[in-house]
């Protein structure tokens, strides 16, 4: 079952209409994100002839914020940022071993919106919306419509957390949880953080990379209240940066603000053919992250999800890249190279 995630930001961006508050910048950015392939190519001075094999008819539509397009190189059909968002006809190929739920999300769903795969942490599907549509997304076929849509609907599912005291960390994921407005997002995060056996919370997000203005002062204040408030629950934020060119001034500034407000910053990247499949690109990525105060946590071997086979690299390539990173970078700046095997008790560390 596929879910069309195209309705875009308005669904979760808060009240609309003439009586509404002035629209915040990030919500405008999301609304104005590029949704047309021809517009995207036009902005980059590229023609369809230079990029054979495109197909924009997927039910997982093109979505790219303008802030991200600005970091792409004009005239370069092989730009590593462009490659992450470009819908290709190859996505329609049926490839052996690539399925709809490669990572076993389905069997790990407990109550609507709650995935409990690993003993001590539960993952909440906070929303199906994202700031960008990454073509290699491992949840591109996820049935998001089954997850709770409002705080009231979460009531029932959150009771699962109350009944499972072995869960000491709750992860807000999706989709991208920062697609929710601050009131909803921190309503959920606050509820989770107030459980006595939950000692940490985590957010998985690509927003700081895609639309840095999402990290507004209201967000930072609410973050600080959880991190340094009376109960003081650490907030771990896992970013998703795949290439050094995604790290620019606005992202570095946002990382500083997040750290000042108490977040501990990690990154997860995916090893992607044509994007970051060389030693040099991984080295530059890890250095750039470390310089921005972000720990490269995981480098993922691609999850074998239908429509993503053209991004897959040999596992041996990843191993050799990471082995060499380890000889050149600080210990903390070398990510763990992992793959997810459905049914296992944790991610599987390859190296």
Ligand X SMILES: *Cc1c(COP(=O)(O)O)cnc(C)c1O
**Site for ligand X, rule CB under 6 A:** 108, 115, 117-118, 121, 123, 171, 346-347
Which of 125, 130, 294, 338 is in the footprint of ligand SF4 by CB under 6 A?
A: 130
Nearest approach in angstroms of CB 191 to ligand X is: 18
CA distance 24 to 15: 11
Nearest approach in angstroms of CB 347 to ligand SF4 is: 16
Partner whose binding site includes residue 134, from ligand SF4, ligand X, none (CB under 5 to 8 Å by kind): ligand SF4
Nearest approach in angstroms of CB 323 to ligand SF4 is: 26
Partner whose binding site includes residue 283, from ligand X, ligand SF4, none (CB under 5 to 8 Å by kind): none
Nearer to ligand X, 88 or 116 (CB): 116
Partner whose binding site includes residue 118, from ligand SF4, ligand X, none (CB under 5 to 8 Å by kind): ligand X
Which of 139, 141, 222, 304 is in the footprint of ligand SF4 by CB under 6 A?
A: 139
Q: Which residues between 157 and 176 bind ligand SF4 (CB under 6 A)?
A: 174-176
Nearest approach in angstroms of CB 152 to ligand SF4 is: 24
Nearest approach in angstroms of CB 326 to ligand SF4 is: 26
Q: Segment contacting ligand SF4 (CB under 6 A): 86-94, 101-109, 128-136, 257-265?
A: 128-136
Interaction between residue 137 and ligand SF4 (CB under 6 A):
yes
Which of 134, 271, 272, 333 is in the footprint of ligand SF4 by CB under 6 A?
A: 134
**Tokens read off for 233:** 């629950």
Nearer to ligand SF4, 134 or 215 (CB): 134
CA distance 336 to 291: 18
Which of 116, 133, 222, 339 is in the footprint of ligand SF4 by CB under 6 A?
A: 133
Question: By rule CB under 6 A, what string of x and - marks binding of each residue 219-248 to ligand SF4?
Answer: ---------------------x--------
Q: Can you give the three-state secondary structure of the chain, one letter per residue? A: CCCCCCCCHHHHCCCCCCCCCCCCHHHHHHHCCECCHHHHHHHCCCCHHHCCCECCCCCCCCCECHHHHCCCCCCCCCCCCHHHCCCEHHHHCCCCCCECCCCCHHHHECCCCEEEEECCEEEEECCCCCCCCCCCCCCCCCCHHHCCCCHHHHHHHHHHHHCCCCCCEEEEECCCHHHCCHHHHHHHHHHHHCCCCCCEEEEECCHHHHCHHHCCHHHHHHHHHHHHCCCCCCEEEEECCCCHHHCCHHHHHHHHHHHHCCEEEEEEEECCCCCCCCHHHHHHHHHHHHHCCCEEEEEECCCCECCCHHHCCCHHHHHHHHHHHHHHCCHHHCCEEEECCCCCCCCEECC
Partner whose binding site includes residue 121, from ligand SF4, ligand X, none (CB under 5 to 8 Å by kind): ligand X
**Residues that contact ligand SF4, how many (by CB under 6 A):** 11
């Amino acid at each position: 079952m596929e879910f069309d995630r195209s309705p875009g930001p308005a669904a979760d961006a808060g009240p609309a209409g003439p009586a509404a508050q002035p629209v915040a910048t990030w919500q405008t950015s999301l609304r104005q994100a590029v949704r047309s392939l021809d517009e995207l190519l036009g902005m980059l001075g590229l023609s369809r002839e230079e990029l054979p094999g495109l197909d924009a008819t997927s039910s997982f539509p093109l979505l790219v914020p303008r802030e991200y397009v600005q970091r792409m190189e004009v005239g370069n059909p092989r730009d590593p940022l462009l490659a992450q968002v470009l819908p290709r006809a190859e996505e329609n190929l049926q490839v052996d071993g690539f399925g709809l739920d490669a990572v076993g999300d389905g069997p790990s769903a407990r109550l609507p919106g709650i995935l409990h795969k690993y003993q001590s942490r539960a993952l909440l599907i906070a929303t199906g919306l994202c700031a960008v549509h990454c073509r290699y997304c491992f949840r591109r076929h996820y049935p998001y419509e089954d997850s709770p849509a409002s705080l009231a609907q979460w009531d029932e599912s959150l009771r699962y957390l109350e009944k499972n005291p072995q869960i000491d960390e709750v992860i807000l994921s999706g989709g991208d949880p920062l697609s929710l407005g601050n009131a909803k997002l921190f309503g959920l995060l606050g509820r989770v953080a107030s459980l006595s056996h939950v000692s940490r919370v985590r957010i998985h997000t690509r927003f700081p990379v895609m639309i840095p203005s999402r990290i507004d002062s209201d967000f930072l204040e609410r973050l600080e209240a959880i991190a340094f408030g009376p109960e003081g629950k650490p907030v771990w934020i896992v970013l998703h940066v795949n290439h050094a060119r995604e790290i620019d001034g606005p992202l570095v500034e946002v990382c500083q603000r997040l750290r000042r407000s108490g977040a501990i910053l990690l990154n997860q990247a995916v090893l992607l053919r044509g994007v970051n499949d060389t030693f040099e690109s991984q080295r530059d990525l890890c250095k750039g992250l470390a310089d921005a105060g972000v720990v490269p946590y995981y480098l993922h071997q691609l999850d074998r999800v239908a429509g993503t086979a053209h991004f897959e690299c040999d596992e041996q390539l990843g191993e050799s890249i990471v082995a060499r990173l380890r000889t050149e970078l600080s210990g903390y700046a070398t990510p763990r190279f992992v793959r997810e095997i459905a049914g296992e008790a944790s991610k599987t560390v390859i190296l």
